Structure 1
Amino acid sequence: MSIYTIADLHLALGIDKPMDVFGGRWSNYMEKLKENWVSNVADNDTVVIPGDVSWATYIESAYDDFKFIEDLPGKKIISKGNHDYWWTTSSKLNKYLEEKNLSTISFMHNNAFQFEGIAVCGTRGWKGPGEDDFKKDDEKIYKREIERLELSIKAALKLKLPRMLVFMHYPPVTAKSPMTGFIDIMKKYNINECYYGHLHGEGIKGAVEGEYEGINLKLVSADYLNFKPFKIK
């Protein structure tokens, strides 16, 4: 059994949202994603999807996208991204999965999961204080997301497993925000692996990868991975 990750699927089966306007790499991206996924992921594997899963605005409009994910091999753990407007309360999300018989999907929000001796936790995150577009209104969201990351890490610690992976949608650090509360929290709990998405196109140039403050960082946005899930273990 293996664990994979890939962020920013940006599925749009229920609405008209062509992604090729963001560059040629996005041409036929859903077909490429399906082909790569089926070729690499087995039914007993797990895939963590840290955000920006569907362009649907409401959960009722997201079914085709969730069915697309459901029909792919493996179990899937989904967390929130900045474009997941369909995201609602945990109870409503879990009820939706039950009603639609989506049995291979789980949602990560202030909680944690376990897989083969590995604890899986994380949160959406937010832009860092050093970013040019960080405004006063962002401060509250930023601090709340730091709290949510800590809640998820604490839930993961209760599992008492030898390895812990953190997944975020936003990068925990960028060239313009060289130190954030997300890094502080991960250092506090001796986290040494973090996978994140959100960055596309020119934004990828600002990605920080490799060891940073003792944490191994890895960008896993779908276009950066050429729509092939990244194998962690």
Structure 2
Amino acid sequence: MAILAISDLHLSLSTDKPMEVFGSQWENYTFRMRENWNQVVQPEDLVLIPGDISWAMYLQETAADLAYIHSLNGQKILLRGNHDYWWTTLNKMENFVQEKGFDTLHFIKNTAFLWEDTAICGTRGWTIPKGGASAEDRKIYERERQRILLSLEDARRQHPRRILVALHYPPMEKDALLPGFMDILQEYGVSQCVFGHLHAAAHKFAPQGIVDGVRLRLVSCDYLNFTPVLIQN
């Protein structure tokens, strides 16, 4: 039962937000992604989807997009991205997918998900550019740091063999004003962190490889050619 990851699906199956406006690589991407996904993901596998899942504004509007994800192979872990305006309380989201019969979808919000001997943790994350930020940015940044701590503490209570973290924003950023999330990942012995958010020309700014003992990996779907990447066998 492998663990794979892919982020930033930006689905708009019931909203008018075509991704083709962002470049030819997005043309017919939902069809291509379905084919690629079901070739590399087995029904018994787990797929992490760290954010920017749907362009819907409200939970009820996500039905078609979540149905698409549910129809793909594997169990899926969903986390919030900066464009997931539909994201609401954990209880409401869990009730919604239960009512729809989307039993392959699971959410992380201040929680951890245990998959065999591995705990999956995560949150949206946030970055503070070197040029400074507003008071609201700092508030969001500190709140997201608290949320990853809550997720990691939940994991620690379950005594996993290893911990993986999925963030929407990169856990660190070149020339950022504040350190990001790397100090927390190191403190909790996180082995790997996957993230998205970066697209097209911004791919080159992604921190990747082993950084202070944590393996960092960009998993934005356009970076992965719309194919989930294996992160753990």
When normalised by structure 1's length, the TM-score is 0.95
In 1, are the aligned partners of 2:172 and 2:180 still within 8 Å (CA)? no
Q: SS at the partner of 1:31?
A: helix
Asked whether the equivalents of residues 129 and 180 of structure 1 are also in contact (C-alpha less than 8 Å), the reply is no
Q: Is residue 17 from structure 1 mapped to residue 17 from structure 2 by the alignment?
A: yes
Aligned-pair identity (%): 46
Number of matched residues?
A: 232
User: CA-to-partner distance for each residue in 1:79-136, whole Å, 9 max, x for gaps?
Assistant: 1000001101111111111111111101111111111311111110012343x47323
Q: Which residue type is aligned with residue 182 of structure 2?
A: I
Instruction: Give the match for residue 111 of structure 2.
Output: 111
User: What's the counterpart of residue 140 of structure 2?
Assistant: 141
Aligned residue number for residue 175 of structure 2: 176
Determine the C-alpha separation between the residues in 1 that align with 2:177 and 2:32: 34
Whether the 8 Å CA contact 2:127–2:180 is kept in 1: the answer is no
SS in structure 1 at match of 2:60: helix
Cα deviation code 1:21-46 (max 9, x no counterpart): 11221111111110111111111111
1 CA distance for matches of 2:177 and 2:85? 28
Is the 2:173–2:180 contact (alpha carbons within 8 Å) kept by the matching residues of 1? no
Q: What residue is the counterpart of 1:167 in the other structure?
A: 166
Q: Which runs of 5+ in 2 are unaligned?
A: none
Please identify runs of 4+ aligned residues in structure 1 that moved more than 4 A: none
Q: Is the 8 A contact 1:128 1:173 kept in 2?
A: no
The 3 A distance-change label for structure 1 pair 178 and 142 is closer
The 3 A distance-change label for structure 1 pair 119 and 232 is same
* Alignment partners' CA distance in 2, 1:163 and 1:92: 29
SS in 1 for 2:148: helix
TM-score (norm 2): 0.95
* Aligned positions of 1:43-54 closer than 5 A: 43-54=43-54
Rounded Cα–Cα distance in structure 2 between residues aligned with 1:47 and 1:181: 25
Q: How does 1:62-211 map to 2 (within 5 A)?
A: 62-130=62-130, 132=131, 134-177=133-176, 180-211=179-210
Q: Distance in 2 between matches of 1:57 and 1:94?
A: 17
SS in 1 for 2:120: strand
Shift of residue 173, structure 1, vs aligned partner: 0.8
Cα distance in 2 for partners of 1:136, 1:194 equals 27
Stretches of structure 1 lacking an aligned partner (at least 5 in a row)? none
Matched residue SS, 1:62: helix
